[in-house]
Chains A and B, each alone.
Chain A
Amino acid sequence: MSTQSIGIAAGLAQANDRFHAARRRQLMTLVVVVLVISVLPLLVKDVYLQNIMVLTLMYTALSQSWNILGGYCGQISLGHAIYFGIGAYTSTLLFTKFGVSPWFGMAAGGGIAALVALVLGYPFFRLKGHYFTIATIVVAEAALVLFLSWPYAGGALGIQLPAAADNWANLQFGRNKLPFIYTALALATITWLVTWKIEDSRWGYWWRAVKDNPEAAESLGVVIFNSKMAAAALSAFFVAVGGSFYAQFVAYIDPDSVLNFHFSLLFALPAVLGGIGTLWGPALGAIILIPLTEFTRSYAGGSGQGIDLIIYGALIMLIALWKPEGLIGFFVRQPKPLPASADEGAHS
C-alpha cells in the first residue's frame, strides 16, 4: 500500500488505508459469524430449529446471488425462480436418469443457468425498468408452465429423489440436518466471499455505475450490455447451485415447488429488507425474514386464519417504509445531508 501511495497527499493515503482496513474488518466479521453459526447446531438440536437454520442460510446464499444482479447492477429480476428451477431439475434429472453425482449436477445446473441467463439477457437487457422486470416474471412463469407439461421431467407430479446411501458423495443424509446446515453455510459463505471480492473489482464498480447512471457510465467507457450480462450470468449460476442444494435437501421437486413466482420474491426480499446492493444486507434480511416466516406459519398459520400473512406482510411494509435503505441502515453510516454552505466542503 505504502509504495502505491507515493505522490498522493497524506490525507488520501490515510483514507486509502482506512478503506483497506474496513475491508479486512468485513472479512474478520465473516470469520466470527461463520464460527458462531458452526457451533450453533451443536447446541440447538431441535430438528424444527435446525430446519429453519438450513433455510435461513440457503436464502442468505440465494438472496446474495440475486443481489449481484438486482442490488449491485440494479436490474430488478423477479424471475430468478427459473434459475433455481434449472439448478434443481438439472442435478435431480442427472442423478435419477444417469446416476450422476449431485455435486457434478450442481455445477452443471449452474453452468446451464448461466448460459440461459446470457441467452435471455441478450434480448432482455434492451428493456428498461418495469418492462425488464415483467419480462423476467413472464419468462419464469412460461418455464413453470413448460415444466408442468414435460413428461421426461415428471410433469406436474414432479420427481422423487431416489434414496441412495447417506453420505457426502450423494449429498443425502436421511434425517440428519447437520450436513445440510454446513453445506448451506458453505454456500452462503462462498457467495458472500465472491460478492466481497467483486465489490472492490472492476466489475463491481462498473455494475454500481450502471445502476446509478447508465448514461454517465457509458461516457466513462463502461459497456452497459456486457456489464449486465456478466452480472446476470454470475447471479444465475449461484441461484442454480442453490436450487440443486434445495432439491437434495427436500428430496422431492415438482414445478410448483421450485419454479413458483414465490421463490423469485423470496430471493429479492431478504436483500431488499436487509439492504439492497450491500454485502451484509441479504444475510441480515434472511435472518429476520425466514425464521419469522417459519414461526408465524407454524404458530399462527396452522389454523389457516391468515394471521401469519398479516404479520409477514406488515413487517415487509414497515421495513420498506421506515428503513428504505434496509436494516443495514442501523449498522452503517447514513448519508449526511448536504452541507449548509458551499464553503464547508470546499477546503482542500
Chain B
Amino acid sequence: MTAAPILSVKNVTRRFGGLTANSDVSIDVPQGEILGLIGPNGAGKSTLFNIIAGAFPPSEGRIVLNGADITGLDAPARCAAGIARTFQVVKSFESMSVIENVMVGSFVRTASAAEARRKAAEVLEFVELDGRANALAGELTPPEKRRLEMARALATEPKLLLLDEVMTGLTPTEARKGVALIRRVRETGVTILMVEHVMEIVMPLVDRAVVLHLGKVLSEGTPRQVVADEAVINAYLGDRHRA
C-alpha cells in the first residue's frame, strides 16, 4: 500500500472499568479501500467504531484522519470532518419521515432546507429507498431501517464510512442487494470500514480484513490470508466452542 492512509488508528486502548475492550489497536485504512473488521462477539469492534466516530474518547492512543490528529474532536466535528457511521442497533429518528431523517445528514453540508431536501432525495434514490420517502421511519421494516441509516450517513458526504453489522438480520436476497450497494458506494470514492459478523458476506466484498480478538488485533491481510491464519481459526473455533 503506497497510498497515504485516510484513517490511522494509532495504539488505541479503551477500558470500561476493569474491562479492556480495545488494547493497543493500530490500523491503517488506505484511501478508497473496503476494509473488513471481523472478530467474534465482544471482540471490541463496535467500541473501536465508537472511538473512530468520536462517540467517546479512547483511554490511550490517537485517531488520525488525512494526516490530522482528530482525537480531540467530538462526534459532530468528526462528521463534519468526513466520518460517517451506522449503528449496530439502528437508531432512526422514528417520528420523522424517511426523507427528513436523511435531510438531518444533509444539513452538515448546507444550511438550506431546499438544498438538503434535494440532496436527501438523491441519496434515497441511490440506496433505492425513494419509494418510502414520505413514510415515517418508525413504519419501516428492519432491512429498510438499515438502508435508511446508510442513506443518512451518505447524505453527510463522508470520506470515510463506518458500517457496523449492516447485514445482520437480512435475508440472502437482501444481503446481496446490500453488498451491491456497498460496492456502489465505494465507486463514488468513499473509503469503507465495515464490521461484519457473517464471513460469507465480508470476505468476497472486502479488499483487506483485520481480525480483532479480545480487544487486540489478531491478524491482518487479504481475506485469503486471514482465513488461512492459524490464530484466526483457533479464535473462531474457540468462540464456537464457548457458545
Contact = CB atoms under 8 A, between A and B. Distances in A.
Interface stretch (A50-58, A167-175, A199-207, A237-245): A199-207
A164 interface: no
Interface string B136-174: 101111111000000011011000000000000001001
A326 to B, nearest CB: 13
Contacts of A338: 139-141
A335 B93 contact: no
Contacts of B108: 220-222
In which size bucket is the chain B interface? 35 or more
Contact of A348 (B114, B128, B134, B143): B128
A212 B95 contact: yes
A7 B79 contact: no
A160 to B, nearest CB: 46
Contacts of A213: 91-94
Given A201-B113, A206-B107, A11 B130 contact: yes
B95 A220 contact: no
B53 interface: yes
Contacts of A205: 96, 100, 103-104, 107, 113, 116
A206 B104 contact: yes
Contacts, number: 141
A202 to B, nearest CB: 5
A218 B76 contact: yes
Nearest to B142: A342
A307 B117 CA distance: 51
Contact of B76 (A4, A221, A277, A346): A221
Given A205-B100, A220-B105, A221-B156, A9 B116 contact: no
26 contacts: A4-B118, A8-B118, A8-B125, A12-B133, A16-B117, A16-B121, A18-B134, A205-B96, A208-B96, A208-B100, A215-B55, A218-B55, A218-B79, A219-B79, A220-B104, A220-B152, A220-B155, A221-B76, A221-B108, A335-B136, A336-B135, A342-B142, A342-B144, A345-B131, A345-B135, A348-B130
Given A205-B100, A219-B87, 17 more contacts: A11-B130, A11-B131, A205-B113, A215-B87, A216-B93, A216-B152, A217-B93, A220-B79, A220-B153, A221-B80, A224-B76, A338-B141, A342-B143, A342-B144, A345-B141, A346-B141, A346-B174
